Amino acid sequence: MFELVQRIEIDAPGGRASGVAAVPADHPALLDHFPDRPLLPGTWCLELAAQIAGPLVEEALGDGRFAVLAMVQRARFIAPVELPTTVHIEAVITRREPSTTVVETTVFRGGLLRARAELVFAHVGGATPAAIAARDTRLARWKVG
């Protein structure tokens, strides 16, 4: 699903990020998902939110550790998101501990709130150089978006 994020802007010192993702109605993984009324699955809303919030946490940490989604808390789906769609995602760090960071995320479509969730990220070290390079390449592409 990484190819769905088009752009990300990160303000690490301010603890905020925003991003845009586009989901086509004919994505291969969605072909049999609500065939009469194509909708974005809630799990995809959460995944896209995590893809915006994770890089925010990593840049805020600033020490090379990865942010791995560990828990979803208080997820609320306000309204369905019809496909195809472009969603705007906001992420704000609300709490940082030595081993975890909590991020409040919101998903909007057409300026209207569609979903919100509190995501908890674990801080994980020891990544291989190849994993770090892949992350950095993906993030550079999203920042240019």
Residues designated as active site: 33
Block residue for tokens 């942010």: 67
Coil, strand, or helix at residue 9?
A: strand
Q: CA-CA-CA-CA torsion for 15, 2, 111, 25, nearest 10 degrees?
A: -170
Give all strands of the β-sheet with 5-11 in edge-to-edge order.
5-11, 16-23, 85-96, 100-109, 112-124, 66-77
Tokens in use for 11?
Answer: 């303000």
Distance from C-alpha of 60 to C-alpha of 4, rounded to nearest angstrom? 23
* HSE-up of residue 32 (Cα within 13 Å, Cβ side): 0
